[in-house]
Chains A and B, each alone.
Chain A
Amino acid sequence: MTARLRISWIIALVVMVFMLGGAVLAQDEAPAGVFYGGWPYSLPPDSHLNSFSAGGPQTNTGVYHDLIEMPSAIYLWSEARYQPLLAESFGFEGESAYVITLRSDAMWNDGTPVTSDDLIATYAIGRILGWSDYTYIDYLERVDDHTVRFVLKNPSIVAERLMLKTRVRAAATYADFAERATALYDSGATNESAEWQALLQEIRDFRPETLLASGPYHYTLEDMGDSYITLTWQPNSHLSSVVQFGEIRLWNGETEAVTPLFLNGDIAYGTYGFPPATEASFVDAGIRIIRGPQYTGPAIYFNHSLAPWNIKEVRQAMAYVIDRAEAAFLGKGLSARPVTFMAGFSDNLVPVWLSEDQTAQLNPYEVNLERAAELLQSVGFTQVDGVWQDASGAPVAAELTFPAEFADWVGGVQSAVDQLNAFGFQITARAVPAAEQEQATLRGEFQLTVRNWGIGSPFPNATFNQPLFRYNYNAGVEGEPGMNFPMQFDWNGEAVDLQALIAASGAGLDTATQGEAVFAVSQVFNDMLPILPLYETYTNNPLNESLVAGAPAEDDPIWTNGGGDNFTIILLATGVLSPAG
């Protein structure tokens, strides 16, 4: 049995047990053992239990929040399907609606059932908060106690992800706000009205005394210590008898603060990213490293307003010069892999979205210095005393900025710059604080810069949007031209509207149609190289197997889960992970 099959069987078995059983037998005693994790959280009074307001559980428990206020489902990337959590079933009803039916045995920790009212209340408040879900949703209909119909105005697979991933909050806590929100919206008020803003303010300022949990764990403010927060097992969730830990302890702190705890054996698992040297010391200490794709990594962004970066041949020449495998290794050691297909989205998703024939049509830009020289010469560039110059005699020189704090990018970026300079470019790399560098990128105040080429989404459309929408002028924000790459141009003798193609790659519900658009965008991206992806980073999450048992083998597809669908959360929720010994 392959590892992929094994994990699928385990998950399927868990689901079957509950579906056939009808109702879960409540387990009164907490399982033994503590899961030791880490997450940076704030202390009260910054921290509170209102998950609709900044400083609430979503901020302070991060990915573990899915085990407290559960979403309807979580995505299994390798199987391209959603794994139900609170939901029993879900799906599109034609193109006009999406229907979610919640599990009849789902319960809050106070013993009351999770119902349609909870989902409707969640979305009623979400509308006041301005959730982007309402780009796709028109309104919600209560079908029965456990079924809700989302009437859509803009059907999309992106909408499905947003709806299923939304954590359902308890109407018992927020019903008053939800009722007032619904009445306000029904009265025709807009978000600019004083009433809307006043309600919004009330929602933000609300401080519930308890947090009702549909997941197997919950916590109170008393559980938030200076050094760690304790998520306590509760008996009423439909997953309470599945999970193997009686407590989840999350140590407080960012990467530098938790590193000694990992080395000391105080933490079993963390979502942090570590520099290669720290990773090596973990390995020396016998800690396993989990390497899952992050579906993103560093890319060189060109300012297309400036020569010579607006010349396609120059960008292609750079792609031929840089040994991306070397950059990847120097960037994050074994937790990075060079981008090979140059499709504009993760190599890990290419087989899912493109056929082998289509993939073969993409130029992999393997290192070829002669080809790079030919390309530069074809646009009038010459090499004088080892330095490449344009037709006017100006050297190919620029400053390349990169985020100083991204330890897993620094080495890779420096390697790429060294290789370009060895070829005859004059690039000066400069580290800039990440927040400042991002703002400079949005304002178009750079020559060359390094940002992420992708994003944690299973849909290529979202990744295309990262460089070409968010960091490009067409996001439509005044004063933010970004890299200023033109989205309408002639390509291979045809007029191309790249913006329309990208929109088509994520529109509608037919993945085959979307796939055609994905291929079209990939071809254009592969040739035009609006950005130059270097490598894809992988997680280097430490997993201390002297504290946790049951982690699947390295080749198990569960580790390919990315984005907000954390693999450890799935493994905890399905009871795959258990205390060691």
Chain B
Amino acid sequence: MASSSTLADAPEAPRGLWSFMRRILRSYAFRVIAQGLFTIWAVTTFTFILIRQMPGNPIQIRISQIIQAQNVTYEEALAQAAGLFDFDPNAPLIVQYVDYLGKVLQGNLGESITSAGTPVLGQIMRFLPWTLFSIGLGLLFSFTIGVFVGIAMAYWRGSFFDNVMTIIASITFSIPNYLIALLIVLVLGVQLQLFSVGQLRGAVDPEVQPGFTLEYIGSLLEHAFLPVVTYISATVGGWMLTMKSSTLSTLGEEYVTAARARGLRSWRILTAYVGRNAMLPLVTQLAVSIGFVIGGSVIIEVIFVYPGLGGLLSSAIANRDYTTMQGVFLIIAFAVVIANTLADVLYGILDPRIRIGEEKKAR
């Protein structure tokens, strides 16, 4: 059958090609990729324009910083800043844009303006692992704790446990992460002296030799502890409340009642029937959060002097390092698009109705 069909189609190759192209164009994968590329281009263009609308360019900002920090004259600051930057503030915007886009298409994110000669990709590769490690770890713990506690809160709704956890979640979720970070440092570190504020700064103890040793790994975990705890404290409440709400609506579904009627054990109902379905709304949220993990948590990294991408972005914004800012935003956009695409795929796996619907549409 297959061979006869192939022979029959042979004279109609152009029509077949067109049909093949149409199928590709209509395919789910193509739409997702095209949508992702368009989003990345739009974000890149938007941030490129927006960044340049910020008051002050790198040279002006550097001169102001020198004057503020060293209290020297404008002339002395100008002498220090002159020639430091490979940046022409008078170049037409369109020329800068075309140049930038051309480089990006070749995988070149350009060079930092405020550290002439330093590739932006090099900067990102230097700081990204630390952000992935600390904020990624924080997100993993936060999400896991939030999901399990949220299910338990919903299952035992109205209980003492539910009431206490709801209050805790509401309080922690409403406190900004920078406030939690400052409270940890000032109250636990400075007032109560529970830890040495200075020794826990950075990603690792400078005295410890890098290597696959217990000492080095211990130091990594020790230094990541405060940023991770801060991140968890500021976000776990949100996961708990969302999961509780989602679980409550799932618990009202008929299939859960049926499962109970069949005499299934609570644990089995919770995991196989409720948990899996209640997780669905959280998948997109998690995907977006994973995407934003790449950008780090600016305030947390600045307060704990943790060498992540958030700190790099913060300093790039303060110094108007356009190319570094663009590079970090591009990476964040890329990560969010990829994470969203993965979320779509995961949605299909978790909820067969969606997968079947997509397949029907494709036919």
Contact = CB atoms under 8 A, between A and B. Distances in A.
Contacts of B56: 435-436, 438-439
A435 B55 contact: yes
Interface in B316-335: 320
21 contacts: A42-B315, A44-B126, A45-B118, A45-B122, A46-B115, A46-B312, A54-B113, A55-B116, A62-B69, A128-B83, A130-B83, A133-B79, A228-B201, A228-B206, A260-B197, A264-B190, A435-B64, A456-B71, A457-B76, A564-B72, A564-B76
Contacts of B78: 132
A241 interface: no
Contacts of B113: 54
Nearest to A463: B73
B86 A201 contact: yes
A42 B79 contact: no
Interface in B58-96: 60-62, 64, 67, 69-76, 78-80, 82-86
Given A131-B79, A132-B79, A226 B305 contact: yes
Contacts of B134: none
B210 to A, nearest CB: 11
A256 B190 CA distance: 14
A257 B303 contact: yes
A252 B197 CA distance: 13
Contact of B76 (A165, A204, A207): A165
A264 B126 contact: no
B307 interface: yes
B198 A55 contact: no
A interface residue count range (under 10 / 10 to 19 / 20 to 34 / 35 or more): 35 or more
Nearest to A197: B86
B340 interface: no
A455 B82 contact: no
Given A54-B85, A263-B190, 20 more contacts: A42-B315, A45-B119, A54-B84, A130-B83, A131-B83, A226-B305, A252-B202, A260-B197, A261-B197, A263-B186, A264-B196, A435-B55, A435-B60, A435-B61, A435-B64, A438-B55, A438-B60, A457-B73, A462-B74, A466-B74
Contacts of A465: 73-74
A570 interface: no
Given A206-B117, A261-B197, A45 B305 contact: no
B229 interface: no
Contacts of B82: 129-132
A225 interface: yes
B110 to A, nearest CB: 13
B71 A438 contact: no
B348 interface: no
Interface string B182-196: 000110011001001
Interface string A12-51: 0000000000000000000000000000001111111010
A455 B73 contact: yes
Interface of A: 42-48, 50, 52-55, 58, 62-63, 128-133, 158, 161-162, 165, 200-201, 203-207, 225-228, 251-254, 256-257, 260-261, 263-264, 266, 271, 294-296, 433-436, 438-440, 455-457, 462, 465-466, 470, 562-564
Contacts of B137: none
B70 A260 contact: no
B interface residue count range (under 10 / 10 to 19 / 20 to 34 / 35 or more): 35 or more
B111 to A, nearest CB: 8
B76 A271 contact: no
Interface in B125-153: 126
A433 B76 CA distance: 24
B169 interface: no
Nearest to A271: B69
B279 interface: no
A55 B189 contact: no
Nearest to B198: A266
Nearest to B315: A42
B203 interface: yes
Interface of B: 54-56, 60-62, 64, 67, 69-76, 78-80, 82-86, 112-119, 122-123, 126, 185-186, 189-190, 193, 196-198, 201-204, 206, 302-303, 305-307, 312, 315, 320
Does more than half of chain B's interface fall in helix, strand or loop, or is it mixed? loop
A128 B307 CA distance: 34
Contacts of A201: 86
B80 A58 contact: yes
B76 to A, nearest CB: 7
Contacts of A204: 83-86, 116-117
A261 B67 CA distance: 25
B123 A46 contact: yes
Q: What are the 9 tightest A-B residue pairs by CB atom distance, in nearest-first order?
A: A226-B202, A129-B83, A55-B115, A456-B71, A205-B117, A227-B201, A227-B202, A225-B206, A204-B116
Nearest to B122: A45
Contacts of A207: 117
Contacts of B126: 43-45
B319 to A, nearest CB: 9
A47 B206 CA distance: 17
Contact of A205 (B116, B123, B196, B315): B116
A54 B83 CA distance: 9
A231 to B, nearest CB: 14
Given A132-B75, A257-B303, A456-B73, A226 B204 contact: yes
Nearest to A261: B198
Contacts of A260: 185-186, 189-190, 197
A431 to B, nearest CB: 14
B86 A264 contact: no
Contacts of A42: 115, 315
Contact of B70 (A47, A438, A564): A564
B72 A457 contact: yes
